[in-house]
């Protein structure tokens, strides 16, 4: 809208109505102003008021192009019962959401659910953002593009690097993570180009973003990071280099294994240097290990065992089982085994994980996750007592558990002491979420047979969860 008409009135007012009669032809409100009755002065002031009000609050229609239609989603639509189930699970933030999303992976959301999914995904701290967006699908991305508040839910356009060059730290991180997912090597190259110009906090945040897709293309930048002024940056670089056994870092650690250790008969002799060379300090062998290690030698040996490729210890056809059977001199067996556990979890080495379980009958959580499914199941089938009621091993066994294992654990819990303990609660929860559905009847039966109120409540709750899980999958079948 133009202001020519109001400017004409202003000129007439300055000259005075005795010298110039007001004209209203250029006004947006010409018809209304022309209908005003009164003296010239009153008509001019009334016309100015009408035009000012129009300019302040009036608007002419502005045409906007119609957006392209939302892309089609060929997946089948969620059944109505499953849709209502999801609404309820989201409302109470149910522990069954993860299982529901896995079971519903082949479905698309109905149109009337998409806004709710986007609203849930946009909440700060949303733990199911990726699953909600996957269910919303391409139509959800189209809807999100129409609302600026949902802009963070849309994958950035990687052809436009302005967020990386000029954006806020959060936008730079988001753009960089998207590039990392699409082209890991390109992301590393972009980070290497600006490495020196970034502050320590930014270097740390962007270096941590390299975790997915870690590979040989990251080695050069990680080696640079070993010389960083920030200790936290160096620690991340060391942690990532441990995951690259074929790197120069891995070869340096392999050589140190050969220099520091020697097998003499049934004993593994270890000679930790009194003073570390500059290259060993650079590779992090002075970093402190677990808190229960008492001596400097123990911490250094732990760092070596955690950082060296596991193959470095298996010369002369020695297996992990052979190495674990060796006696370790000078009381360094505990830090060495702890370091081996860290490396086993890092590389998810099934052979080492199996050997560690066979030796002691229990392992740490990271090692348990590396166990082959068959080895873990067979161990639990043979176990009894405390070895069976082991939350670490049972937590590593994915659903659905074999029926005989689930029944065995339930039987152990039925007679186990301490139904108020954290272990009892954890195991009944695991059973409820991992056991096959038919165990639900056994849970319900156990609840009616026990005289302990706490045990009854836990068993009845587990039976109810198993029933909900059965219904959940039936609705999605």
Q: What does pTM read for this prediction?
A: 0.80
| pLDDT for 355 | 96
Q: Helix (H, G, I), strand (E, B), or coil: what is residue 327?
A: strand
Alpha helices in 149-247 (DSSP H): 162-166, 169-182, 184-194, 200-208, 219-225, 231-241
The sign of the CA dihedral 136, 141, 143, 147 is positive
Cβ atoms of 78 and 104 closer than 8 Å: yes
Tokens 């003296």 sit on residue? 39
Cβ atoms of 238 and 283 closer than 8 Å: yes
Cβ atoms of 136 and 109 closer than 8 Å: yes
| pLDDT for 60 | 66
| pLDDT for 53 | 85
Cβ atoms of 204 and 231 closer than 8 Å: no
Number of C-beta neighbours around residue 308 at 10 A: 27
Model confidence over 55-112: pLDDT tens digits? 887 666 778 888 888 899 999 999 999 999 999 999 999 999 999 999 999 999 999 9
Model confidence over 84-95: pLDDT tens digits? 999 999 999 999
| pLDDT for 382 | 93
pLDDT mean for each 10 residues of the chain (477 residues): 78 83 84 86 89 78 82 94 94 93 95 93 86 94 91 88 92 94 96 96 96 96 96 96 96 96 91 94 91 89 96 88 91 92 96 94 94 96 87 93 92 80 89 89 83 85 92 93
- The candidate with the shortest Cα–Cα distance to 440, out of 463, 472, 412, is 463
Cβ neighbours of residue 129 under 8 Å, at least 6 residues apart?
A: 121, 153
Domain ranges of the chain: 4-57, 80-153, 162-241, 264-366, 372-475
| pLDDT for 23 | 85
Residue 261 forms beta bridges with which residues?
270
Helix, strand, coil shares of the chain, percent, nearest 5, are 65, 5, 35
Chain-centroid distance of CA 181 in Å reads 13
DSSP-assigned letter for residue 213:
T
Rounded CA-CA distance 259/253 in Å is 10
Model confidence over 410-452: pLDDT tens digits? 888 887 767 788 888 899 999 999 999 888 888 888 888 877 8
The DSSP code sequence of 398-421 is PSSPPHHHHHHHHHHHHH-S-TTS
Token representation of residue 196: 């020196």
| pLDDT for 62 | 77
């Amino acid at each position: 809208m133009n202001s020519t008409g109001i400017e004409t009135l202003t000129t007439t007012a300055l000259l005075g109505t005795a010298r110039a009669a007001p004209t209203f032809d250029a006004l947006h409100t010409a018809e209304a102003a022309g209908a005003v009755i009164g003296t010239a002065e009153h008509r001019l002031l009334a016309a100015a008021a009408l035009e000012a009000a129009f300019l302040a609050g009036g608007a002419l229609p502005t045409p906007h192009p119609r957006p392209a239609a939302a892309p089609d989603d060929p997946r089948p639509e969620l059944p109505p019962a499953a849709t209502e189930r999801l609404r309820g699970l989201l409302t109470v933030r149910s522990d069954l959401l993860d299982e529901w999303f896995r079971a519903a992976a082949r479905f698309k959301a109905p149109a009337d659910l998409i806004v709710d999914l986007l609203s849930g995904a946009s909440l700060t701290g949303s733990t199911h953002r990726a699953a909600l967006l996957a269910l919303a699908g391409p139509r959800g991305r189209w809807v999100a593009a129409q609302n600026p508040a949902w802009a963070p839910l849309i994958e950035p356009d990687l052809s436009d690097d302005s967020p990386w060059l000029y954006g806020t730290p959060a936008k730079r991180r988001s753009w960089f993570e998207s590039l990392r997912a699409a082209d890991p090597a390109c992301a590393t190259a972009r980070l290497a180009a600006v490495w020196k110009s970034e502050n320590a906090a930014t270097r740390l945040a962007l270096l941590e973003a390299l975790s997915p897709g870690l590979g040989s293309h990251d080695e050069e930048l990680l080696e640079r990071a070993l010389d960083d002024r920030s200790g936290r940056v160096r620690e991340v670089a060391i942690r990532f280099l441990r995951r690259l056994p074929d790197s120069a870092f891995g070869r340096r650690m392999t050589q140190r294994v050969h220099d520091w250790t020697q097998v003499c008969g049934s004993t593994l002799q270890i000679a930790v240097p009194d003073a570390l060379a500059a290259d060993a300090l650079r590779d992090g062998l002075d970093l402190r290990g677990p808190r229960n290690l008492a001596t400097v030698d123990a911490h250094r040996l732990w760092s070596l065992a955690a950082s060296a490729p596991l193959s470095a210890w298996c010369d002369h056809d020695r297996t992990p089982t052979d190495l674990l059977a060796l006696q370790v001199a000078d009381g360094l067996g505990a830090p060495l085994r702890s370091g081996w556990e860290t490396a086993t979890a890092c590389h998810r080495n099934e052979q080492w994980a199996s050997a560690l379980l066979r030796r002691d009958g229990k392992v740490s959580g990271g090692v348990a996750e590396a166990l082959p499914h068959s080895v873990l199941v067979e161990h639990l089938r043979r176990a009894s007592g405390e070895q069976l009621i082991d939350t670490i091993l049972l937590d590593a066994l994915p659903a659905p558990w074999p029926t005989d294992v689930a029944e065995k654990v339930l039987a152990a819990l039925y007679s186990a002491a301490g139904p108020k303990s954290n272990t009892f609660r954890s195991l009944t929860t695991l059973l409820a979420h991992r056991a096959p559905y038919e165990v639900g009847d056994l849970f319900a039966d156990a609840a009616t047979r026990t005289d302990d109120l706490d045990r009854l409540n836990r068993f009845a709750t587990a039976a109810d969860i198993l029933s909900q899980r059965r219904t959940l999958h039936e609705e999605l079948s």
